[in-house]
Chains A and B, each alone.
Chain A
């Protein structure tokens, strides 16, 4: 029994190490321009902190990460009106850029101060401030809270 426990713990650590060292990237694409941002770079942006509840877990949690607006500012948004979010499991959701920007979303890189593994729904998660803005706490907006975020495409 003891041996198995030790093995499991070792394996868990191994996985954590894997997911962190795998240096996940967020690919932000607009037309032909693609920006690959990793965790460090994302954390170099001015960070926004959101403490919120969500339909995914009990209680509240603290999320930190650059706001979506800040990241998208990098691109001039004249031609583009739609944005598509893509997750690791090939889940995609798209919406209007302006609407999304008004939602005060952030690209969360850390939950409760810790980087998120894939199992934690990381590496990146679009978080809306549901606690601060209860009008966002609705099915229509929940679908934008895409986790295991892999890429953002602007059209």
Chain B
């Protein structure tokens, strides 16, 4: 609906208020006419006859009084008779003005006013009467003159009411009144009918408006809410225009709306006749569509994508527009109800967004995956708050050895392990990822520190171990609380600061470079070192790495794979090692799996190696066994490592 369109003006608030006022006025008028008519209703033909007869009687009573006046003026009148006639006339006026019977007389033309007037004049004669009747030689001339005027007036009143046919005059007057009233009522009723009709349309219009998006004219979220079922052979597609917020911030809301309209048009073109496109919010659409021409769901998705990828030109700027799609695919038989399918489409959209894909079609795997994730998440929450849980976390240790001496254990990397009674083993990066997403990162960190300090206490106290424990930090742990956590949970528990090495990845550090560097500085003051994990696989530049004050570098296993077969790879690894050496950092090589790789790496001096060829990750007891093995040597504060019991 374009603004200012006819329909909008027709059903606008002003029009409606105006019509309400009109109805109110008509209703009031109708009520008034009803009341009036009721009054007139009581006037019957008999009453009309009575009315005309009344005026005639008044005239004759006036004539009788007139005779008495004449007699009195001549001096031969009877005062009693005179007063009697006066009283009779008086009572006639009273009757005409006050009785219900004489209503027709009063209502006809201006009779009421004239009769009232006459009565007033008659009463005006009373004081004079008293004087005249009491005096011995009354002068009646003034009285007579005044009375004559009244008498004439009475006769005129009579004549005026009876020109032509007496009863008919009053009757037609009455009927005309009633006709007018009837017409007015008819008018009122028709107006009411028209207005009710209008109201019905207005209501329908408003209802439709509330379900229509004003920008695109498509059904909106209200319409979506009202859906209760859907053809199972239709796909439900949830889509979301990318970066619309950014576009608004850079180019304004109006431009963004233009883009949304264009997008809606393009998307709309891809629909079949029975398909529906719903505009849920500014950048969000829901499609209910069948695939066409026997295409598969993926092809359908690609078709939608192809139609809705375009560039929008604003003066010199070109904005690429695209969207993400999540699809709940069509099924042959109805298996899920509308809201479940709707939810499924949005889950698919969320996954598409997470994985950076243009679209994602919901399938069994997704559902299973999401179900599993829910189980793991719940298990984690319970585990980390100390409640009984089907899920349990544990730590294992992978010893790090010197390249020159495989038996020299310089330290170990602490790794997370997770097992769930229902699902089995859960990869640690999934745990970390889930924790980050659901805000459990800090709790995980606390648990990790506690667990490490609990388990490794004996290493430091009983064995006198002074090697380096490498602990992986997830992004949530890189906050101001880290320093106090390390102090409280590790250092205060008797873990020496020099034995701690905290590992971060390039990308995690890049999230807030300044803060991380500051943290590294603070930890350095405590004596704790930092290591950069997965070096070479991040998205940052070398200069950046240089700025980061880490003391140790861990080169990712991907640089080690295939060095024994591929000379290029070997050369590449050598150059990375050389570069690390240039930066005066301790270097640990990860992922050494065979003798050949080992020997190639051992050509360099001062390297450390962490890999299956040396040791696999193992629980604490096994680690203690490795350390206490007669062949092993490690950094210690005791003089003779082999003396340890």
Residues of A within 8 A of B (CB): 4, 7-8, 10-11, 14-15, 18-19, 22, 55-58, 88-91, 117-121, 139-140, 142, 147-148
Given A7-B130, A18-B80, A118 and B99 touching (CB < 8 A)? no
Q: Contact: A89 with B87, CB < 8 Å?
A: no
Q: Contact: A19 with B87, CB < 8 Å?
A: yes
Given A4-B127, A118-B91, A121-B91, A88 and B84 touching (CB < 8 A)? yes
User: Is B179 positioned at the interface, with any CB of A under 8 Å from its CB?
Assistant: no
Instruction: List A contacts of B83 (CB < 8 A).
Output: 15, 18-19
- Please name the 7 residue pairs, one residue from A and one from B, whose CB atoms are nearest each other, closest first: A118-B87, A139-B46, A55-B101, A56-B99, A11-B130, A55-B100, A89-B61
User: Is B64 positioned at the interface, with any CB of A under 8 Å from its CB?
Assistant: yes
**Closest Cβ–Cβ distance, residue A101 to chain B (whole Å):** 24
Q: List 21 A-B contacts (CB under 8 A).
A: A4-B127, A7-B130, A8-B126, A11-B130, A14-B130, A15-B83, A18-B83, A19-B87, A56-B95, A57-B98, A88-B84, A88-B88, A89-B88, A90-B60, A90-B64, A118-B88, A118-B90, A119-B94, A121-B91, A121-B95, A147-B91
Please name 15 further chain A to chain B contacts, defined as beta carbons within 8 Å, in addition to the given A11-B127, A56-B98, sorted by A numbering: A4-B127, A8-B127, A22-B84, A55-B101, A56-B100, A89-B57, A89-B88, A90-B64, A118-B91, A119-B87, A120-B91, A139-B47, A142-B101, A148-B88, A148-B91
User: Is B290 positioned at the interface, with any CB of A under 8 Å from its CB?
Assistant: no
**Closest Cβ–Cβ distance, residue B218 to chain A (whole Å):** 69
**Closest Cβ–Cβ distance, residue B31 to chain A (whole Å):** 23
Instruction: List B contacts of A120 (CB < 8 A).
Output: 91
Closest to A143 in B: B50
**Closest Cβ–Cβ distance, residue B163 to chain A (whole Å):** 25
User: Is B106 positioned at the interface, with any CB of A under 8 Å from its CB?
Assistant: no
B interface majority secondary structure: helix
User: Is B615 positioned at the interface, with any CB of A under 8 Å from its CB?
Assistant: no
**Closest Cβ–Cβ distance, residue A155 to chain B (whole Å):** 23
Residues of B within 8 A of A (CB): 44, 46-47, 50, 57, 60-61, 64, 80, 83-84, 87-88, 90-92, 94-95, 98-101, 126-127, 129-130
Closest to B91 in A: A119
**Closest Cβ–Cβ distance, residue B42 to chain A (whole Å):** 10
Q: How far is the CA of A58 from the CA of B95 in the complex (A)?
A: 11
Contact of A22 among B80, B94, B129 (CB under 8 A): B80
Contact of B90 among A56, A90, A119 (CB under 8 A): A119
Q: How far is the CA of A35 from the CA of B88 in the complex (A)?
A: 24
Q: How far is the CA of A142 from the CA of B47 in the complex (A)?
A: 11
Which one of A7, A91, A117, A119 has the highest number of Cβ atoms from chain B below 10 Å of its Cβ?
Answer: A119
Q: How far is the CA of A76 from the CA of B86 in the complex (A)?
A: 37
Q: Contact: A139 with B60, CB < 8 Å?
A: no
Given A55-B100, A142-B101, A7 and B64 touching (CB < 8 A)? no
**Closest Cβ–Cβ distance, residue A150 to chain B (whole Å):** 10
**Closest Cβ–Cβ distance, residue A126 to chain B (whole Å):** 15
**Closest Cβ–Cβ distance, residue A22 to chain B (whole Å):** 6
Q: How far is the CA of A147 from the CA of B61 in the complex (A)?
A: 14
Closest to B101 in A: A55
Q: How far is the CA of A56 from the CA of B91 in the complex (A)?
A: 11
Instruction: List A contacts of B90 (CB < 8 A).
Output: 118-119
Instruction: List A contacts of B57 (CB < 8 A).
Output: 89, 91
**Closest Cβ–Cβ distance, residue B388 to chain A (whole Å):** 91
Instruction: List B contacts of A88 (CB < 8 A).
Output: 84, 88
Instruction: List A contacts of B94 (CB < 8 A).
Output: 119
Q: How far is the CA of A21 from the CA of B64 in the complex (A)?
A: 23
Closest to B89 in A: A89
Closest to B80 in A: A22
Q: How far is the CA of A57 from the CA of B91 in the complex (A)?
A: 12
**Closest Cβ–Cβ distance, residue B90 to chain A (whole Å):** 5
Q: How far is the CA of A89 from the CA of B68 in the complex (A)?
A: 13
Q: How far is the CA of A55 from the CA of B80 in the complex (A)?
A: 29
Q: How far is the CA of A120 from the CA of B127 in the complex (A)?
A: 20
Q: How far is the CA of A58 from the CA of B94 in the complex (A)?
A: 13
**Closest Cβ–Cβ distance, residue B528 to chain A (whole Å):** 108
Instruction: List A contacts of B60 (CB < 8 A).
Output: 89-90
Q: How far is the CA of A55 from the CA of B44 in the complex (A)?
A: 14
Q: Contact: A7 with B88, CB < 8 Å?
A: no
Instruction: List A contacts of B95 (CB < 8 A).
Output: 56, 121
**Closest Cβ–Cβ distance, residue B141 to chain A (whole Å):** 21
Q: Contact: A89 with B101, CB < 8 Å?
A: no
**Closest Cβ–Cβ distance, residue A108 to chain B (whole Å):** 15
**Closest Cβ–Cβ distance, residue A115 to chain B (whole Å):** 14
Which one of B64, B88, B127 has the highest number of Cβ atoms from chain A below 10 Å of its Cβ?
Answer: B88
Contact of A139 among B50, B98, B126 (CB under 8 A): B50
Closest to A11 in B: B130
Which one of B91, B95, B98 has the highest number of Cβ atoms from chain A below 10 Å of its Cβ?
Answer: B91
**Closest Cβ–Cβ distance, residue A128 to chain B (whole Å):** 14
Instruction: List A contacts of B130 (CB < 8 A).
Output: 7, 10-11, 14
Closest to B130 in A: A11
Q: Contact: B44 with A139, CB < 8 Å?
A: yes
Instruction: List B contacts of A142 (CB < 8 A).
Output: 101
